[in-house]
Amino acid sequence: MRAVRKSLKCLTLTWAFSIAAMDRIACNYFNGIDSTAHRSTLQYVGQSIQISGDWGSELIAITDITISDRLGNAPRTISLPNGAACELDGGAQTNAFLSQFAAKESPWFRAQFDWRWAAASIAALAVFAVAGYRWGVPLASDFLAARVPKIALEKMSDVALLELDRTVLNPSKLPEARQRDLAERFAKMKPPGGTAIAHRVEFRNAEKYVGPNAFALPSGIIVMTDQLVELMQNDEQILGVLAHELGHVEHQHGMRNVIQASFIGAAVAYWLGDVSSVLAGGTTALLHTKYSRQYETEADDFGAAMMRANGLSPTSLATALEALEGRSRRQNADNTGTESAKSEGKQAAETPKRSARSRDWSDYISTHPNTAERAERLRQ
Ligand SMILES: [Zn+2]
């Protein structure tokens, strides 16, 4: 009772519209037996309410009644212990009357009617969503990436490579002995942690679309284009690029990207133990998502450590990055300049598709960001 009295005090202060000493109000009384509405009066008497009408009168302790919550201007209902009920219109007078003895509405409940709270809630939700995306999803993707079965990584990587071979890559034109020599020399290099990391180097000719580039697939397949081999000034630079790519494998950057890109599907798939949905969406995500600056730094650090562990200089990797960026810039400039000229003549139908494709790939290459900054870091 003390609580009710206390809340009465608070509410009297809180309500902006004070309706002074209002102790009675009209209501419709339903006896709980038939559906007839009896026009009645509801009166506040001490710690009870009295309901009176042509049907008679009833005095009920406030502790025995239940009052429905306020919801806009919807009618309010007072449920009585014997199955009867009183219905009041949902206007300001009703709310003021009920607030005298209804349990105090919680601040959360009242907040529903305050636009400032609504605006604050939307803002809080937005902050929560952004924070979830910024930190929650990467954290969860790291957790999940480490738990994707090896067979799934292999399948996804094989499918991705097949897709690349079908669209933008061609068999390497490098002599087989040269390919074997590079792959074997790289395989002999000690990774920084000492533990061997499963990988396979694949060379491809990518004259038309990709140009000089190297990338890693989650299973450990590292694809290096003939054009990258040609662009490098020496084999140490080639090994440096391979070491950088092995860093992406070691840190599972590809898989982390894929999971972040299809996060919900992947989370569900993980808990259901079905990776097929990740595989379906993953191959596309694998080929089109960019590595973040953080991932590139991690791969650079790994590459540099691997170079040092084998008596090679990380500077080679820095020089390789600069050469790649320089080449990529020239390629971008060429693409923009020659596009309109190329779309003439008998290739007209085919060319727009091709240039769109080569633009995709130059975007892909340009996603190795902040080359100058990275090169400087590697040289330190
Ligand atoms: Zn990279």
Find the 20 Cα to ligand 1 centroid distance in Å: 73
Q: Report pLDDT for 274.
A: 59
Find the 270 Cα to ligand 1 centroid distance in Å: 27
Find the 338 Cα to ligand 1 centroid distance in Å: 28
Range of the domain at 32: 2-110
Q: Report pLDDT for 233.
A: 94
63 and 187, same domain (yes or no): no
Tokens of 46: 């001490």
Tokens of 198: 């499963």
Find the 242 Cα to ligand 1 centroid distance in Å: 10
Find the 256 Cα to ligand 1 centroid distance in Å: 14
| DSSP label of 240 | H
Residue 169 CA to its chain's centroid (Å): 31
Give the residue carrying structure tokens 């040609």.
Answer: 230
d(CA 245, CA 248): 5
The tally of domains found in the chain comes to: 3
182 and 199, same domain (yes or no): yes
Q: Quick one: pLDDT band at residue 224, thresholds 50, 70, 90?
A: very high
Find the 365 Cα to ligand 1 centroid distance in Å: 9
168 and 45, same domain (yes or no): no
165 and 120, same domain (yes or no): no
Over residues 129-149, mean pLDDT:
81
Q: Report pLDDT for 267.
A: 57
125 and 201, same domain (yes or no): no
Task: Give 111-126 pLDDT, tens digit per residue.
Answer: 777 788 888 888 898 8
Q: Of 177, 221, 217, 181, which Cα lies nearest the Cα of 201?
A: 221
Find the 353 Cα to ligand 1 centroid distance in Å: 27
Find the helix or strand (DSSP H, E) in which 329 lies. helix 315-342
Q: Please, is 347 exposed, middle or buried when counting C-beta atoms within 10 Å of its C-beta (0-12, 13-18, 19+)?
A: exposed
pLDDT tops 90 at residue 186: yes
Q: Quick one: pLDDT band at residue 380, thresholds 50, 70, 90?
A: confident
277 and 312, same domain (yes or no): yes
32 and 166, same domain (yes or no): no
Find the 280 Cα to ligand 1 centroid distance in Å: 24
Find the 248 Cα to ligand 1 centroid distance in Å: 7
Domain boundary among 99, 129, 145: 145
105 and 252, same domain (yes or no): no
d(CA 256, CA 270): 13
Q: What predicted TM-score, i.e. pTM, was given to this entire model?
A: 0.59
Over residues 253-269, mean pLDDT:
72
Task: Give 343-356 pLDDT, tens digit per residue.
Answer: 333 333 333 444 44
pLDDT tops 60 at residue 155: yes
22 and 169, same domain (yes or no): no
d(CA 128, CA 14): 31
Q: State the CB neighbour count (10 A cutoff) for residue 123.
A: 10
Find the 351 Cα to ligand 1 centroid distance in Å: 29
258 and 317, same domain (yes or no): yes
Domain boundary among 85, 110, 135: 110
Find the 275 Cα to ligand 1 centroid distance in Å: 26
Find the 228 Cα to ligand 1 centroid distance in Å: 14
Task: Give 163-179 pLDDT, tens digit per residue.
Answer: 889 988 999 999 999 99
* CATH number of residue 68's parent domain: 2.30.29
Find the 155 Cα to ligand 1 centroid distance in Å: 22
pLDDT tops 60 at residue 367: no
| DSSP label of 353 | H
Find the 177 Cα to ligand 1 centroid distance in Å: 27
Q: 70, 90 in Cβ contact below 8 A?
A: yes
Rounded to 10°, the helix 293-309/253-261 angle is: 170
303 and 348, same domain (yes or no): yes
What is the pairing mode between strands 221-225 and 200-205? parallel
Q: Which residues hold their Cβ within 5 A of ligand 1, which is an ion?
A: 296, 299
Q: Of 43, 31, 27, 41, which Cα lies nearest the Cα of 82?
A: 31
Alpha carbon separation from 85 to 27, 65, 131, 322 (Å, rounded): 10, 9, 48, 81
d(CA 150, CA 157): 11
Domain boundary among 100, 130, 145: 145
Find the 335 Cα to ligand 1 centroid distance in Å: 23
96 and 189, same domain (yes or no): no
Cα dihedral 200, 205, 208, 213 sign: positive
- Pick the residue with more confidence: 309 or 343? 309
Q: Can you name the residues that pair with 87 across neighbouring β-strands?
A: 28, 77
3-state helix, strand, coil in the chain (%, to 5): 55, 15, 30
Torsion of CA 311, 313, 316, 318, to 10 degrees: 140
Q: Quick one: pLDDT band at residue 12, thresholds 50, 70, 90?
A: very low
